[in-house]
Amino acid sequence: MYRIRGFEIHDGYLDRHAQSSVFSAVQEIARAAPPYAPMTPWGKPMRVKMTSAGRLGWYSDRRGYRYVDQHPDGIPWPPIPEVIMEMWRDLVPGGRDPECCLVNYYGEDARMGLHQDKDEADFAYPVVSVSLGDDGLFRIGNDTKGGKTESLWLRSGDVVVMGGDARLRYHGIDKIRFGTSTLLPKGGRINLTLRVVT
C-alpha cells in the first residue's frame, strides 16, 4: 500500500482468481439491473455506463445527481454481493456497511471528467474503489477546482480507499488503455465504488 495526496492505493489487492470472482458478482448485478448511460443535468448522456447494487443507487438526469431506491426501469437494486462486501469490511473495519455499490463501465472512448463526490451525507466514511479489466488513467486534483494534478494508471485488481483528507478531492479518469486486460471478455474497464450514503 502507498499513499498519494491522501489516497490509499492498494495495488494488486485482488489476485487474478479474486478478480474473476468479483467480475462474476458484477455480471450478476448487471443481469438484475442493466447498465445504462445516465443523462447529465446539462442534457448529454454520459459515456460511462452505470448501474448499482445496494439499498441506494446513484442516479442522474436533468434534475441533477442523487441517490434513488430503484433502477430507472422501476426494479429494485440487487443486493451488494458478499465478495464485494468482504473487501469493504477488510479495508474499513468496524464501521457501517456500504449502502451503494456503484458500477461504472468504460468502453474504448469513455472517460470521466474531474469532479468531487459530495452527494453523500457523511464524508467521515471513505469511498472504496475497485478496478477490473483494462488499465485506466486516474487523475487526482485538489479540494477546489484548478491547481496541479497527479496521474496514475489503475490496473485490474487495484483498490483505492479515499478517506479523511482525501474524501473531497477532485478526481477523474482521463482514458482507458483498451485491450490491456483479458479479464472482461469484451474488453473495457469496470470500476466499483462502495459508499455509505445516508
- Which residue ranges are tagged as binding site for Fe cation? 115, 117, 171
162 with 129: CB under 8 angstroms? yes
Site for ligand MD3 contains 160 (CB under 6 A):
yes
Of 17-25, 58-66, 110-118, 182-190: span binding Fe ion (CB under 5 A): 110-118
Site for Fe ion contains 117 (CB under 5 A):
yes
Query: Binding ligand MD3 by CB under 6 A: which of 101, 173, 183, 184?
Result: 173
Residues 63 to 92: which contact ligand MD3 by CB under 6 A? Answer: none
For every residue of 122-184, DSSP letters joined together read -TTS-EEEEEEESEEEEEE--SSSSS--EEEEE-TT-EEEE-GGGTT--EEEEEEETTS-SSS
Shortest reach from residue 117's CB to Fe ion, in Å: 4
Give the phi and the psi of residue 193 in degrees, each rounded to 5. Answer: -125, 130
Per rule CB under 6 A, count of chain residues that contact ligand MD3? 16
Site for ligand MD3 contains 102 (CB under 6 A):
yes
Of 9-17, 35-43, 141-149, 158-166: span binding ligand MD3 (CB under 6 A): 158-166
Nearest C-alpha neighbor of 91 from the set 136, 53, 129, 133: 129
Shortest reach from residue 79's CB to ligand MD3, in Å: 20
Query: Residue 45 has which C-alpha cell?
Result: 448522456
The residue number whose beta carbon is nearest to ligand MD3 equals 191
Residue with cell 426501469: 73
Query: Binding ligand MD3 by CB under 6 A: which of 139, 171, 183, 184?
Result: 171
Cβ-based burial of 136 (10 A; exposed 0-12, middle 13-18, buried ≥19): buried
